[in-house]
A and B are shown apart, each in its own frame.
Chain A
Amino acid sequence: MTPFPASQMIVGAIFLLCVVTTVVGALIAALTARIIRSVCGLAICCIGLAGLYYFLHSPFLALMEILIYVGAVCVTIVFAVMLAEPDEPVRDENAGATVLWGGLALLVSAAIFWGLWHLGAHQDWTAPATRLTDGSVKAIGYSLLTTYSMAFELISLALLVAIIGALAIARTGRTKP
């Protein structure tokens, strides 16, 4: 059986598309002035991340990324954007200080990126000799219900507390009709 012609190149192109989608989405999320575009950038970034998770041999996490981040988190933030008016204020006050602090923030993030990139790229990441499981959804299910059952129950409790807490906090201060 001969492989599909240029399949390696097609896979590489799709991988590069995922990387570019992730980075461009993150840039849109961090740099635009209007918050609703920022939320859309977060959604684009999460779609790209889902593709990267797929390339990391985990289609389950790719599905969960789209389901939770794009489907739940972004929609919830959009609701908050509709309730508040969170657009960035126009930058008229004290332009010199704004440029100074912006440059400082850029310097900090560039230093962090350079350090981490240097650590990651100049290291010899050898693969382990043996794999204990195959990392499939079945293996994840077995592990969640045996080894990690305690953490699984605890995170459901944490989510319950978060829901009740969010309801209690958002309810205070509301005037009676």
Chain B
Amino acid sequence: MNPSPLPDRPDIYLSVAALLLAIGIYGLLRRRTLIGMLISGELIFSAASLNLMAFNRFRAPDPVVGQIFVLFIMGLAAAEIAIALSIIIAVYRNYRSVKTRELSELNG
């Protein structure tokens, strides 16, 4: 029997992060529109952040480092979202569709 209370067990956080990563990869493989793939990518970002924060809480001698790392991940995710959505808007303007099956001009 594990004596420590539930929020102080690192394996729960790591399992939730692994589950988020798995769901994100499943969505990334299954989605057929660009925006759906983008949302799944955000889930993968969240999994990485949660993993880093769990190690920061339970393993790191300096608890500031992980928080700053996750803060930078959030900033880069915001930048990525801005760029990706503008690309999606440009693609929609050219093709009238954001379905991945129809965007096959470079397919040859």
Contacts and interface: CB of A to CB of B under 8 A. Distances in A.
Contact of B43 (A29, A79, A87, A148): A29
Contact of B18 (A65, A68, A88, A116): A116
Interface of A is mostly: helix
Interface in A85-136: 85-89, 101-102, 104-106, 108-110, 112-113, 116-117, 119-121, 123, 125, 127-135
B87 interface: yes
Chain B contact residues, majority secondary structure: helix
Contacts of A167: 86
Contacts of B101: 89
A64 to B, nearest CB: 6
A1 interface: no
B68 A128 contact: no
B72 to A, nearest CB: 6
A131 B83 contact: no
Interface in A53-88: 53, 55-58, 60-61, 64-65, 68-69, 72-73, 76-77, 79-81, 83-88
B68 A30 contact: no
Most buried by B among A30, A117, A161: A30
Contacts of A65: 74
Interface residues of A, number: 92
Nearest to A15: B7
Interface in B77-108: 77-83, 85-90, 92-94, 97-99, 101
Interface of B: 5-7, 10-27, 29-36, 38-40, 42-43, 46, 49-50, 53-54, 56-65, 67-68, 70-72, 74-83, 85-90, 92-94, 97-99, 101
